[in-house]
Structure 1
Amino acid sequence: MDLVQLLGENVRRLRKERGLSQEELAFRAGMKRSYLSDLERGTRNPTVRAIGRLAIALDSNPTNLLRSENGK
């Protein structure tokens, strides 16, 4: 799977697990909701800074945002 798509799927999954809307997560991560939406759909390349901000906002680790479900 493409790394950008994998990141998007993980962000969406974690966001939903935490009961957050895109708007709330974007606010917590200091980014625009449209940028977050693009990231979740895998249509935008994330910056390292964005990955870090999302990890903090999701109370997670950047590694978890880039890890496949089977851990590889």
Structure 2
Amino acid sequence: MLHAMTVKRSETSPARPAPISVALGKRIKQCRHAVDKSQETLAFEAHVDRTYISAIERGIANPSVETLANICYCLGVTLAQLFAPLDGVPLAPTGARRANTATPPEIKRSRLR
């Protein structure tokens, strides 16, 4: 049973990270190295797990703006400085998004008097 589950997982390929996520992760890693901090130290200071810092740096995590602000504070850079070198990264959507399958509510129109 366990073998069948393992085979099934290996058959599905993970989604490729978006170029912006990969570029952001590389930039964070570059800034972290510039201030000579380990992933563990940055994670402790930014109040996140070390594995999350690793995932961000590999481009597979999508951190919130608040988390990015915490990371920037710990690295001594602003959000603008963090994103400035990413100017040439394509911003076009990548991959398929889950469709909203909910039925929209019926809109009742009334006249304003």
Correspondences of 1:16-27 after superposition (within 5 Å): 16-27=33-44
Calculate the TM-score normalised by the size of structure 2.
0.58
| Residue matched to 2:30 | 13
% identical equivalent positions: 30
Q: CA deviation at 1:63?
A: 1.5
> What are structure 1's unaligned runs of at least 5 residues?
none
Which structure is higher in helix share? Answer: 1
Distance across 1 between alignment mates of 2:37 and 2:53:
12
The match for 1:56 among 53, 73, 83 is: 73
Distance across 1 between alignment mates of 2:43 and 2:83:
18
| Residue matched to 1:37 | 54
C-alpha distance after superposition, 1:1-44 (max 9, x if no partner): 82211210111001111110000011111110000000000011
Instruction: Tell me, yes or no, if the aligned pair for 1:6 and 1:67 is still in contact at 8 Å.
Output: no
Larger RCO, structures 1/2 (Cα 8 Å, 6+ apart): 1
Deviating runs (4+, > 2 A) in structure 1? none
Q: CA deviation at 1:58?
A: 0.3
> What are structure 2's unaligned runs of at least 5 residues?
1-17, 89-113
Calculate the TM-score normalised by the size of structure 1.
0.87
Instruction: Tell me, yes or no, if the aligned pair for 1:4 and 1:44 is still in contact at 8 Å.
Output: yes
Equivalent residue pairs, number: 71
| Residue matched to 2:106 | none
Larger Rg: 2
Q: CA deviation at 1:67?
A: 2.3
Alignment-mate amino acid for residue 30 of structure 1? H
Q: CA deviation at 1:68?
A: 2.0
